[in-house]
Structure 1
Amino acid sequence: MNRGRIRRLLHTAVLSESDRPTTYCVLNNNVPILRLWFDLELDTKQDFRLSRRAMHALMRLMQREQDHGWGNELEILIYVYWLAHGLSYRVVSRVFSVPKSTVHWVIHKVAKFIWDNLTKAIDFPKLTEIDTVGNGFADLSRSPVFNKAVGAIDGCHIRIKPPSFHRLDYLNYKGFYSVNMQAICDSSRKFLDIFVGYPGSVHDTRILKSSSFYLARSDPPNGYFILGDGGYPCLETPICLMTPYREPVDDRVQRRFNYHHSKARSIVERAFGVMKTRWRATLFRAPEVSPTFVPQVIATCAFLHNVCIENGDILEPDNDALEILDTEPPLQDAPEAHDTPGNAIRDRLAAQITT
């Protein structure tokens, strides 16, 4: 951060050491939020929605070689505080005693850095970790048949203030303006992949087939599968995606499969619920930012969600943050040329479930 832009926040001093100047910053003790941060005995959850341990982990992930002094740390504090409270830039500028233009600059800078480095926290498990994830899904489903599941996929809608152009494109089937977030999570609710930004009117299947996850065809590995709800097609290729049998189901084997499938797949809805609970001040109302910036804001919420899980900062979703279990109606698209239906695999899995 440019020191001139934060001179109201920090007192700067320069010392000479072997003819090489060293610049360091002394905390301005008149800023309460910074007194809280630098007092290691105080809890940070109320003000930043992250534990101190998770905050330090985030700062390590975002450390760059050119960073020095307090600049990077202060930028992250400003950004996370803004995200935690959903406040205007003007209010955040008062809290940190910096110009509003600095707050605007910091928020866009930090969001862009996270957007460009999502894989530092959001990625598929390594082959050595994949069986642990599968066993987690077997536990969730209450059936060992699902021990080859490596993720659960779904989409959620994040409210926005729609642009004046193509406004109706953002009106979703629930009746409000939104952008879509497609996510795949593992059995611990950690996001493995996200794809954010399509207008709210776009169906989950169309978003899936436009996503880098689908087009790359590299995950899940051969022999493993992803779980999705009835709004998605059941596929063997280009990705192995197992969906429930379409209701109403009279067959006992199919009904049993749907029960265990739902137990495992619903973890992704809880992941969305946890993320929305932590960042409810931003995600429960349309953020006061341009629609083009919203995808970066949502992506950083998912990134921080994973940082929290990795560092033991766990919370349960509020009831109003859980996604309503109303599956979008299936999209009656003609199959893609490279799509192979997964019905035969699903039938084999269903036949293996004994209870």
Structure 2
Amino acid sequence: MPPGEMAAVIRARRRHRPRRRAENIFATRITLFQLSEHKIIKRYRLSSHAILQLLEEIKEDIESLTQCSHSIPAVVKLLATLQILASGSFQTVIASAVGIWQSALSRVIAPALNTLLQCTSQYIHFPTTNDEITRIKQDFFNIGNFPNVIGTIDCIHIPTVPPSLQEHIYRNRKHTYSMNVQVVCDANMVITNVVAKFPVHDSFIFRNSAIYQRLGNQAFGETWLLGKHCLFYLFVWGRFTVHLTFPLDI
């Protein structure tokens, strides 16, 4: 057979040769039962009971619709999202820890975060009834005999990747980029208010928050809001509220 014909035969055989499909190798998915309670709290900043309770609330919203045997369970999506929020680590690291691919993790984070945000108002809200306000005042009074305190307030810088056209706004005094988040909590360290939408100074955030407006309108009577520098700015006559969003203002 001439060399030209032989080459044509070989090419034809290669085209029709059945190709073997590469076998997918799936990593072992993480479960809470693999970890001690100490490791669970350290990794996710929540207890196993709190995680399971949260899972029951959002499971229907984040569960995969497909019946594929290798679809990502809701618990893995939740654990991956909580670990990212708790550690701020890279997706590749978190994906390896929970047993999924990074590309899969990037697809499930946004839906899981949006679902969690819809639940924030159930857990983060400033007291509105007289009984709630009285209880908080009493709790603070029991700690330091200081009357009429309805919350403690402070801000914390959360590292972030700034918008390219506004990098200078997000640059803090340590020459890194961050979002300045204002948080209010009660005497039992339960967060009652969050403002996460400004990368600027603490005083600007406070004066532009809903809680400042409500306190200014004397919504809570004669009350104090304590900050790290003794009292936060002034003797607050019934003004208060918090905000949590992306940007968050709860």
TM-score range, shorter chain: 0.5 to 0.7
Q: Which residue of 1 aligns with 2:79?
A: 77
Counterpart Cα distance in 1 of 2:222 and 2:60: 39
Q: Which residue of 2 aligns with 1:224?
A: 223
SS in 2 for 1:129: helix
Counterpart Cα distance in 2 of 1:132 and 1:237: 18
Q: Which residue of 2 aligns with 1:206?
A: 204
Which structure exhibits the higher relative contact order, with contacts defined as CA atoms closer than 8 Å and separated by 6 or more residues?
A: 1
Q: Share of identical aligned residues, percent?
A: 22
Q: Deviations 1:53-109 (Å, cap 9, x if unpaired)?
A: 121122234344785898432321221233344332223333334332221122222
Q: Which stretch has the larger CA shift, 85-94 or 187-196? A: 85-94
State the TM-score, normalized to the length of structure 2.
Answer: 0.68
SS in 1 for 2:30: helix
State the TM-score, normalized to the length of structure 1.
Answer: 0.50
Q: Which stretch has the larger CA shift, 58-67 or 167-176? A: 58-67
Counterpart Cα distance in 2 of 1:47 and 1:204: 29
Counterpart Cα distance in 2 of 1:115 and 1:194: 12
1:186 counterpart = 2:189: no
Q: Which residue of 1 aligns with 2:18?
A: none
For residues 203 and 90 of structure 1, do their structure 2 counterparts lie closer, same or farther at Cα, with a shift above 3 Å needed? closer
Q: Deviations 1:31-71 (Å, cap 9, x if unpaired)?
A: 1623xx245x8433354343211211222343447858984
For residues 42 and 230 of structure 1, do their structure 2 counterparts lie closer, same or farther at Cα, with a shift above 3 Å needed? closer
Q: What is the count of residue pairs matched by the alignment? A: 212
Counterpart Cα distance in 2 of 1:83 and 1:31: 22
Which of residues 92, 96, 102 is equivalent to 1:100?
102
For residues 64 and 89 of structure 1, do their structure 2 counterparts lie closer, same or farther at Cα, with a shift above 3 Å needed? same
Q: Which residue of 1 aligns with 2:168?
A: 168
Contact (CA 8 Å) 1:214, 1:238: kept in 2 or not? no
**Alignment RMSD:** 3.6
Counterpart Cα distance in 2 of 1:85 and 1:162: 19
Q: Deviations 1:163-182 (Å, cap 9, x if unpaired)?
A: 33222222234544321111
Counterpart Cα distance in 2 of 1:119 and 1:51: 20
Instruction: Could you tell me which runs of 5 or more consecutive residues in structure 1 were left unpaired when the two chains were aligned.
Output: 1-6, 10-29, 241-294, 304-355
Contact (CA 8 Å) 2:219, 2:238: kept in 1 or not? no
Q: Which residue of 1 aligns with 2:4?
A: none
* Letter in structure 2 aligned against 1:119: S
Contact (CA 8 Å) 2:180, 2:198: kept in 1 or not? yes
1:55 counterpart = 2:57: no
Q: Which residue of 2 aligns with 1:110?
A: 112
For residues 61 and 221 of structure 1, do their structure 2 counterparts lie closer, same or farther at Cα, with a shift above 3 Å needed? farther
Contact (CA 8 Å) 1:213, 1:219: kept in 2 or not? no
SS in 2 for 1:110: helix
* Letter in structure 1 aligned against 2:196: V
Counterpart Cα distance in 1 of 2:117 and 2:128: 22
For residues 220 and 63 of structure 1, do their structure 2 counterparts lie closer, same or farther at Cα, with a shift above 3 Å needed? farther
Q: Which residue of 2 aligns with 1:156?
A: 156
- How many angstroms does 1:186 deviate by? 0.6
Counterpart Cα distance in 2 of 1:219 and 1:93: 48
- How many angstroms does 1:151 deviate by? 0.7
SS in 1 for 2:188: coil
SS in 1 for 2:164: coil
Counterpart Cα distance in 2 of 1:130 and 1:155: 23
Counterpart Cα distance in 2 of 1:162 and 1:171: 8
Q: Deviations 1:176-232 (Å, cap 9, x if unpaired)?
A: 432111111111111110001212xx2222211221223455785224332244795
For residues 231 and 222 of structure 1, do their structure 2 counterparts lie closer, same or farther at Cα, with a shift above 3 Å needed? closer
Contact (CA 8 Å) 2:171, 2:177: kept in 1 or not? yes
Counterpart Cα distance in 1 of 2:102 and 2:64: 23
